[in-house]
Amino acid sequence: MDNQPRSEFDLIGRFFADLGAHRADVLLGVGDDCALLEVPVGLSLAVSIDTLVAGIHFFHDCDAEAVGHKSLAVGLSDLAAMGASPAWATLALTLPERNDDWLAAFARGFGDLARTYGVRLVGGDTTRGPLSVTVQVHGLVRPAAAVRRDGARPGDLVWVSGTLGDAGLALRHLREGDPVDPALRARLERPDPRVALGSALRGIATAMIDLSDGLAGDLGHILAASGVGAEIDLAAVPLSSAVASRIASEGDWSLPLSSGDDYELCFCAPPEQASLIGSLGNTLSCALSVVGRIRPEPGLVARMPSGESITLTNAGYDHFSDNT
């Protein structure tokens, strides 16, 4: 029903021409009815689509460069969790009005991350409406090597990368109007997807997921898909000193367990792979921690540092969140 001239919004496309890395497998990029892309023989296409909505997933006044970065990062994190190598992205951007400064900053954030990971923006749509960003990422992986959620087996160790809960803590500070350490804030607004780690874990991890909703819920997806359970040891969950202090003072584990946006990887692997995984972490300068073990019995049990064990529900572990 939009009878308005589209020319102004067509012009927006100029901010996104030639964005990202040059790739010879892009037969036709932005500017036709479709992009045309070449998938190499023997590889399958991995795709994931995600939307970030202003006021829900980012603050309306959030730095546009960070929004551009994060809108691509969340998709790259999904590719990483599959062990797929990033290739192309498409972008559907809805804006209340044209704002060239905002667009230039958004394109800078998106483009810098795209170049870092060899991704080309190959198509998009710009429309008028409440601010939101949808990005689809496309990656490549040998189908037999893709790491799914359904391969965890009893006895596998459960690993996570990095530290958990930092993004959630940054968000709490921002909501409370407190000053936020820039490094902590970057964990929320400019997550660095674990692309190299995801690829390195092909053939090693039995199951993998990225931590977008918190360890309890996301590990729960692996457990449900694999038909197994797990016990995790909260004392082994890797925490930054800021998050560790917050937990020590409040006794509340919701930051690592159920606040989202960490974009670390959680994966399972047989214990005999532990030393190989350890050396991968060293090679990639990426902290990797064992936080638990897969069990045949369904359900997720957390052993508290006090020694007490509690069973986390299967319904999203909402009792750990702020809203229940």
Residues that constitute the known binding site for Mg(2+): 33, 48, 50, 78, 125, 210, 213
Residues in the interface with a copy of itself (CB under 8 A) total 86
Q: How many Å apart are CA 107 and CA 89, to the nearest integer? A: 13
- Binding site: residue ranges? 33, 48, 50, 57, 78, 124-125, 149, 210, 212-213, 261, 317
Nearest to 276 by CA among 200, 194, 168: 200
Q: Which of 112-120, 131-139, 242-250, 304-312 is the region at the interface with a copy of itself (rule: CB under 8 A)? A: 131-139
- Binding site for ATP: residue ranges? 124-125, 149, 212
Per DSSP bridges, beta strands 265-269 and 207-210 are antiparallel
Q: How many Å apart are CA 31 and CA 13, to the nearest integer? A: 9
**Token digits for 9?**
């919004």
Is 181 buried (19+), middle (13-18) or exposed (0-12) by CB count in 10 A? middle
Q: Looking at residues 28 to 67 of the shown chain, list those that interact with a copy of itself (rule: CB under 8 A).
A: 28, 31-39, 41, 44-59
In 105-180, beta strands by DSSP E? 120-128, 132-141, 157-161
Q: How many Å apart are CA 177 and CA 167, to the nearest integer? A: 15
Confirm if 208 and 147 have CB atoms less than 8 A apart.
yes
Which residues, at least 6 apart from 315, have a Cβ–Cβ distance to it below 8 Å?
none
**Token digits for 49?**
């689509």
**Token digits for 125?**
């749509």
Q: How far is the CB of 28 from a copy of itself (least distance, A)?
A: 7
**Closest CB to a copy of itself among residues 148, 293:** 148
Q: How many Å apart are CA 128 and CA 5, to the nearest integer? A: 11
Out of 111, 139, 229, 292, the only residue in the binding site for a copy of itself (CB under 8 A) is 139
In 152-278, beta strands by DSSP E? 157-161, 207-210, 229-233, 265-269
166 binds a copy of itself (CB under 8 A): no
Q: Is the dihedral of CA 249, 254, 256, 259 positive or negative?
A: negative
Q: How far is the CB of 216 from a copy of itself (least distance, A)?
A: 11
250 binds a copy of itself (CB under 8 A): no
73 binds a copy of itself (CB under 8 A): no
Q: How far is the CB of 272 from a copy of itself (least distance, A)?
A: 25
Q: Looking at residues 175 to 214 of the shown chain, list those that interact with a copy of itself (rule: CB under 8 A).
A: 175, 188, 208-210, 213
Q: Looking at residues 146 to 165 of the shown chain, list those that interact with a copy of itself (rule: CB under 8 A).
A: 146, 148-150
Q: Which of 23-31, 226-234, 238-246, 271-279 is the region at the interface with a copy of itself (rule: CB under 8 A)? A: 23-31
105 binds a copy of itself (CB under 8 A): no
Out of 20, 30, 69, 132, the only residue in the binding site for a copy of itself (CB under 8 A) is 132
215 binds a copy of itself (CB under 8 A): no
Q: Which of 130-138, 179-187, 227-235, 240-248 is the region at the interface with a copy of itself (rule: CB under 8 A)? A: 130-138
